[in-house]
Structure 1
Amino acid sequence: MEKIQFLLTKEGFRMDDVVYAEKEAQKYAQKFAKASYETLYELAFRERPECFDAAGMFLYQVAESFTEALVNTSGLELSREKTELVPNEETIEILLDSVPFVLGAEFVTRAWIKRQYRKLLAVFAKQIKSYPGKVSLYFAEKSQKLHVPERVFFHLVESDEEDFPFAFLATYATKGDGGRVRHVPLQYALTEYRDERSKLLELLSCLNKAAEVSDLIGGFMESGELFHPLRFTADEAYQFLNDVPALENCGILCRIPNWWKKRYSAFAMTVKMGEDKPSLLGLDAVLHMAPSLTVGGVPLTEQEIRDLLGQTEGLSFIKGKWIEVNHARLRKLLADMKQYDGDITLLDALRSEIKTAPEDEDDAPVVTNGKWLGGLLKSLRNPRKQKSVGVPDGFSGELRPYQEVGYQWLLQMNRLGFGACLADDMGLGKTVQILAFLEALRAQKPKGRVLLIVPASLLGNWQKEAARFAPALSLEILHGAHAPVLSDRLEASKAFLTITTYRMAMSIETLENVTWDCIILDEAQAIKNPASKQTRQIKKLNSRMRIAMTGTPIENDLSNLWSLFDFLNKGLLGSMEEFRNFCRGLEQNPEGYAKLKNMIAPFLLRRVKTDKKIISDLPDKLEQIDYVPLSPKQAVLYRKLLAETAEKVEESSGLQRKGIVLALLLHLKQICNHPDQYLGTEEYSPAQSGKFELLKQLAQTIAEKRERVLVFTQFRELTGHLDDYLAEVFGRRGGVIHGGVPVKERTAIVERFQSESYVPYLVLSVKAGGTGLNLTKANHVIHFDRWWNPSVENQATDRAFRIGQDKNVMVHKFVCKGSVEEKIDALISSKKELAENVIGAGGESWITEMSNDELMKLLRLEA
């Protein structure tokens, strides 16, 4: 079945603008596009639509909770369109616990939930204002399952009288001063409606039904006592409490003590785990379990339980708390105590909730964390409160405050021997946090060995960043040769950090022979498919600790989450089958998401750019040079062209030499972009270009976040190929702007990009798109090739980074490692005067003024 996709937003939600094939999905898409909250409101009165994705199911749950609360609002018939409704704390907690792993989940707060109630309430107010009949009829037309309560209420509260420990009062809702609804004792109805007998009979009609289902209420009706305040014995209160479900079916709302509503969870077995620190750390750490029986937080001894079994069933007041004496439950608790007296591993303790079926939850013990375990999990879930450990001397960078938190968290996870997932948003600096951690690790264990596995497109970046931030870190790069050669290099290597690619990790069998101190996966979504050969091979590798880095949300497919944690902390989420069974129950029991979040929270650190605490640490514009390796074909063409042209440069002079040099620069740039651009062929295989591979990596992450990107190139002939490639990656077409696009069409493209419809990218030529356009819907900018004129590049970037932009802008500048691109970028960065004056004035002409030796040194491809 085709799933309708929803996105949670800061203000509410919207449908993802996907083109649906099935009629059912098309129907909903049209309805939500026309009137989103009206459609959601109407859906709440029907069965859950099976075609909704997890976000849609959550929205349905919000709307369903709203309609239930609305129907049970006192005096609804009196207040009608002036009804006020705010979700209570219990409802808010349930909804917060039910937020699934979806895009925009970070926006769901208490304020967000209250906002959705207000918007749904506005729909009700509009409809009921123009509805001619009674509110009860309005809801009956919406759903036969909903019954608006009558205006009569029964209240039961605790009292201080020893013989009559409960007080009972029947009230009804009526309009007070100012038209507001108020509750008054039922006896006042006899006065208010003394001249309107029909209204009095209508008001009291539900009491006849109540008398039929409850002997207690029937007796009070017959004697007339129901119209006055009453004192209840414990037995009378117990009888009334057991009658509550039947009374509410008669339309009478019963206000009763919370402890009765929660009587099963308030009186249960509690198992305290991990009071003392275990002798060994890690997921295999052995914790002691200490079972006890509690009521309302007050512990009871086994003898006190046996004493209760000697009493008749009913209500009993023990240690300042009222409880229900239920013999069957008490006997089961005593029997269960024996099962939970002993030891358990930390792994089994953490994953127990995955194995608990929803139908078993009422009988499951309440598990609490002892002093050591509670303190540990609290510190891992709140890493900002951890004790600070200084950044090592070998680290030559400066960490932002949130990066410092990430560094401290990684150190603690390493001390504990836990696998860690660093899942910060793209642009928040996961690499620099890892390098600081590696320097600290090296200081502790200089002869240690760490394996880093990355996509091939990121090899150059890691080399550059390591040299910049951790220059003393010894590296071994296992890439660029056949597996047997790389295996020999691995065996001979003494490097602290070994870096290889996912593809080579499958081929170099000797990687399995090393027990690594730590294995780190960058772009760890590469192992999201648990059945793939790549995933299975990487999970065979041996290490003491494991780290997964991913900027791509893990929100979209829970099987991806299982695979990631199967690598990090095997067994935490149970077996694949156990986890599948758990996930199947989430649709009917979405509160289970809270369990899942609670389990993985200690092992996952995710910060997003929308978090106000993070934004305050960030500049508005984040610029990054991405060093891209050339593919073998690019390297061969590059060297061949340079060799063929070097002699022509030597033999020429003046304008002829200048023309040869500029043509050479142009062709080298084309090769760096893609071999087919230089060769004039049309295939454009992504595997033949490091830039295309990296573009895909970035675009996939941007697509997951439903964000938007501008891709600039100076080559008009490349725009169409980039457009086709990005359309494939994003699964939808963006737009292209270059000098050949008419002004009218260009305006339409910009308007579409700036609209609420999701247009994921624009490909722009620097000259046509570099000025005059307002493209603030984009918060990513990629310079696919370099103009070598900073002012021109900055003008292009400012299409997104300008007034009206409310997000941080991430700017990527692609540079082919070892090529002329890297050398000129380094030259511009080091010589500000050259960049501002010479380059700004003369474009690339300054390169033609170099001597032959200087020119060849600049253009030569470095290994």
Structure 2
Amino acid sequence: VPVAAPDGLGLRLRGYQLQGVAWMQYLREHGLAGILADDMGLGKTAQVLAHLLIEQQAARLDLPALVVVPTSLLFNWQQEAQRIAPALRVVVLHGDDRARHVATIAAGQADLVLTTYPLLWRDLDALLSLRFHLLVLDEAQTVKNAGARSAAAARRLHARHRLCMTGTPLENHLGELWSQFHFLMPGFLGDARSFARLWRKPIEQQGQTVRARLLAQRVRPFILRRRKEDVLQELPARIEIVERLQLQGRQRELYESVRVAADKQVRRALERRGLGSVQVSVMDALLKLRQVCCDPYLLKQGRMPQGLERAKIEWLRDTLPALVAEGRRILVFSQFTSMLRLIDSELQGLQLPCLMLTGDTEPAARGAVIERFQAQQVPLLLVSLKVGGVGLNLTAADTVVLVDPWWNPAVEEQAIARAHRLGQTRQVFVYKLVIEGSIEERLLELQARKSALAEGMLGRDDTTTIKFGEEELRALLAPLGAGIAEKVLA
């Protein structure tokens, strides 16, 4: 049933956003739960705030809504609530003195309560003393591990209605989708063991497409997902450029020596313990190769001889001044905070002003960094994927540089979506820096293959617990420039 935008809303909702609000109203009316899984940058926060304003004006918000967010998005939610739904009384549970706010909430003096995933389980006893009208998990892929403390704490909270928000409802495997539904509607997909036996193994390991379609049909009524290209025709298409760089001289020699050592390390571990027991050894070996590709100075904390070739730093040194001179506003992303510091040092030498946003940035300072960049006071923002991969609005940028690829295409999509999102009026250029013939180029090939399953279930693919088969390992550890085996890409 169509709904009208509530009075006092601080923006004009687009048609698809009104449909999203109507969908949430339908779920609430029928006592159902669901996942608002619109593409990143389509205004999920605005839709949820409009839904809450309708609930308030209909006198149904007699208990507050609790929204759990990644720490990096706390400021963004405060700002958006003030701008979009100023009539909502917002209480933020954060900081050392947050316990004093519990009494305010219990006294009925809050409409919207914001907290973070790390604080959810720490404050569980206090939160269990409260009742909520709606419980929302923003960036709900955060609870993909059903056994994690945050996920367990979220399931114990008392709320009439539950909602997940995420642009990537499925990241690494189907168990993550089960975890979200276990929070939303316990029992809907069975218990974890039976789900693994009936769905995960047949679909992921045996490739049973009929089972995959049946599971998709079961979950899709509770997942609302719209893509940018379908609903934002006026959003300029982004232009992606893969910059394939070559290793030269001593950097090339260093890569090969690290590769040989990594190959030996992994082979010894495989012989002693088998593939299932060597994930730590594998990840350590691959990490070192990725670091050499990014910059040799990442190894041994920068204790490298002067004059060593640095392919990516040299590209950045040559390219960023020219882009800034053109008037471009640039986001530079890396998985490695230490890489961002190296880039920052180079930019200082070039007298290019820049800002930095990493996990080390104080929460109180994050808002100021974002505001300065959005106000176009500084042309460059260096961002770690850990804090900049989700939720942030950085539409002042028209250029994104991805310094290092990762296994997961969703991580890169999240980074790009900081700029290529609702509110962007300019063409966005995306530069992906990849060392030709190296582990990085093979990661791009793995990305395409590993995203297929997730795409079928309305999600994508992810990062931290990825596991490799022996053939994939051999391909990743192949000599510089060697082709990846055809069967690995099948």
TM-score by length of 2: 0.52
Q: Distance in 1 between matches of 2:109 and 2:44?
A: 26
What CA distance in whole angstroms lies between the structure 2 residues aligned with 1:528 and 1:758?
14
Q: Mark the CA change 1:694 to 1:443 in structure 2 (over 3 Å): closer, same or farther.
A: farther
TM-aligned CA distance change 1:496 to 1:699, over 3 Å: closer
Task: Name the residue aligned to 2:50.
Answer: 436
* Residue type at the aligned position of 2:142: A
Which position in structure 2 is the counterpart of 1:419? 33
CA contact (8 A) 1:425 1:608 kept: yes
Give the conservation status (yes or no) of the 8 Å contact 1:552–1:701: no
- Indicate the residue corresponding to 2:67 in structure 1: 452
In the TM superposition, residue 395 of structure 1 has moved relative to its aligned partner by 1.9
Matches within 5 A, 1:102-501: 387-444=1-58, 445-482=60-97, 484-492=99-107, 494-501=109-116
Question: CA shift at 1:461, angstroms?
Answer: 1.4
User: Is 2:389 the partner of 1:699?
Assistant: yes
- 1:687 is the counterpart of 2:360: yes
Deviations 1:634-653 (A, max 9, x none): xxxxxxxxxxxxxxxxxxxx
Contact 2:6 2:53 in 1 (8 A): yes
> Counterparts of 1:781 and 1:513 in 2: how far apart (Å)?
40
CA 1:602–1:481 in 2, change beyond 3 Å: closer, same or farther? same
Equivalenced residues, count: 291
Flag the 1:483–1:419 CA change in 2: closer, same or farther, 3 A: same
2:360 counterpart SS class: helix
The equivalent position to 2:224 in structure 1, one of 605, 609, 612, is 605
The answer to whether the 8 Å contact 1:525/1:550 transfers is yes
Equivalent AA in structure 2 for residue 686 of structure 1: G
The residue identity in structure 1 corresponding to 2:389 is A
1:531 corresponds to = 147
Separation in 1, partners of 2:217, 2:47: 24
Q: CA deviation at 1:399?
A: 1.2
SS of the residue aligned with 1:574? Answer: coil
RMSD of the alignment, in Å? 4.0
Once residues 550 and 759 of structure 1 are traced to their aligned partners in structure 2, the CA distance between those partners, rounded to angstroms, is 13
Partner of 2:295: none
Change (3 A) 1:760 1:399: closer
1:572-591 to 2 correspondences below 5 Å: 572-582=188-198, 583-586=200-203, 587=206, 589-591=208-210
Alpha carbons of 1:758 and 1:517: their partners in 2 closer, same or farther (altered >3 Å)?
Answer: closer
Question: What is the CA–CA distance in structure 2 between the aligned matches of 1:800 and 1:498, rounded to whole Å?
Answer: 37
Which residue identity does 1:464 align to in structure 2? Q
Partner deviation per Cα, 1:195-250 (whole Å, 9 max, x = no partner): xxxxxxxxxxxxxxxxxxxxxxxxxxxxxxxxxxxxxxxxxxxxxxxxxxxxxxxx
- Between the aligned partners of 2:70 and 2:410, the Cα distance in structure 1 is 28
**Which residue does 1:843 correspond to in 2?**
none
2:211 is matched with 592
Letter in 1 for 2:92: I
Tell me how far 1:482 sits from its aligned partner: 4.4
Partner of residue 549, structure 1: 165
Deviations 1:276-322 (A, max 9, x none): xxxxxxxxxxxxxxxxxxxxxxxxxxxxxxxxxxxxxxxxxxxxxxx
Aligned residue type for 1:800: F
How far apart are the structure 2 equivalents of 1:442 and 1:779? 31
C-alpha change, 1:397 and 1:562, in structure 2 (3 Å) is: same
Assess if the C-alpha contact under 8 Å between 1:483 and 1:504 holds in 2: no
CA deviations over 1:20-69 (Å, ceiling 9, x no partner)? xxxxxxxxxxxxxxxxxxxxxxxxxxxxxxxxxxxxxxxxxxxxxxxxxx
Larger radius of gyration: 1
> What is the CA–CA distance in structure 1 between the aligned matches of 2:210 and 2:90, rounded to whole Å?
47
Equivalence for 2:288: none
Q: Residue 273 of structure 2 aligns with which residue?
A: none
Residue of structure 2 aligned with 1:731, choices 398, 401, 406: 406
Alpha carbons 2:236, 2:428 under 8 Å: kept: no
User: Match for 2:6: what amino acid?
Assistant: P
**Is this contact kept in 1: 2:357–2:388, CA < 8 A?**
no
- Distance apart, 1:701 and its partner CA: 9.0
Q: Relative to structure 1, is the Cα distance of residues 574 and 401 closer, same or farther in structure 2, using a 3 angstrom cutoff?
A: same
* Alpha carbons of structure 1 residues 591 and 701: separation in structure 2 relative to 1, 3 Å: farther
- Determine helix, strand or coil for the equivalent of 2:134: strand
Report the CA distance shift for 1:709/1:552 in structure 2 as closer, same or farther (over 3 A): farther
CA contact (8 A) 1:457 1:693 kept: no
Amino acid in the other structure paired with 1:392: P
Measure, in 2, the Cα distance between the counterparts of 1:710 and 1:731.
Answer: 19
| Structure 1 moving runs of 4+ over 6 Å | 673-678, 691-694
- 1:475·1:498 contact (CA, 8 Å) conserved in 2? yes
1:463 is displaced (CA, Å) by 1.4
Q: How big is the shift at 1:732?
A: 7.5
**Deviation (angstroms), 1:432:** 1.0
Q: 1:452-501, CA deviations, whole angstroms, 9 ceiling, x for partnerless residues?
A: 11112111211121111111111111112245445445445511111111
Q: Which residue of 1 aligns with 2:321?
A: none
- Please say if residues 418 and 545 of structure 1, whose CA atoms lie closer than 8 Å, have aligned partners that are also in contact: yes
Contact kept? 1:392, 1:440, Cα under 8 Å: yes
Amino acid of the structure 2 residue aligned with 1:585: P
C-alpha contact 1:450 1:496 (8 A) present in aligned 2: yes
Any idea what the Cα deviations from partners look like across 1:774-827, whole Å, max 9, x if unmatched? xxxx77648xxxxxxxxxx99xx65629xxxxxxxxxxxxxxxxxxxxxxxxxx
Deviation at 1:620, TM superposition (A): 2.6
Equivalence for 1:563: 179
**Cα deviation, residue 548, structure 1:** 0.4
Contact 1:687/1:693 (8 A) holds in 2: no
Q: What is the TM-score normalised by the length of structure 1?
A: 0.31
Cα distance change of structure 1 residues 606 and 696 upon mapping to structure 2, 3 Å threshold: same
C-alpha contact (below 8 Å) 1:479/1:486 kept by paired residues: no
Q: CA deviation at 1:697?
A: 4.5
CA distance in 2, matches of 1:501, 1:758: 22
Sequence identity (%): 31
The change in CA–CA distance for 1:485 and 1:759 in structure 2 (over 3 A counts) is: closer
Q: Summarize the Cα distance change of 1:487–1:593 in structure 2 as closer, same or farther, 3 Å threshold.
A: same
1:527–1:564 contact (8 Å) kept in structure 2: yes
Cα deviation, residue 407, structure 1 = 0.8
Asked if the contact 2:138–2:166 (Cα under 8 Å) also holds between the matched residues in 1, the reply is yes
Any conservation in 2 of the 1:476–1:493 contact (CA below 8 Å)? no
Go from structure 1 to structure 2 and tell me whether the alpha carbon gap of 1:709 and 1:759 turns closer, same or farther (over 3 Å shift): farther
Pick closer, same or farther for the CA change 1:404–1:417 going to 2, 3 Å.
same
Q: Which runs of 5+ in 1 are unaligned?
A: 1-386, 623-672, 703-707, 713-722, 734-756, 764-777, 783-792, 802-863
Q: Residue type matched to 1:460 in 2?
A: F
Cα shift at 1:532: 1.0
- Quote the residue 1:302 is aligned against: none
CA–CA distance in structure 2, aligned partners of residues 435 and 700 of structure 1 = 18
Residue 598 of structure 1 and its aligned partner are, at CA, apart by 1.5
Conserved? CA contact 1:518–1:546, under 8 Å: yes
Corresponding letter in the other structure for 2:429: A
Q: 5+ unaligned residues in a row in structure 2: which ranges?
A: 239-336, 349-355, 370-381, 431-490
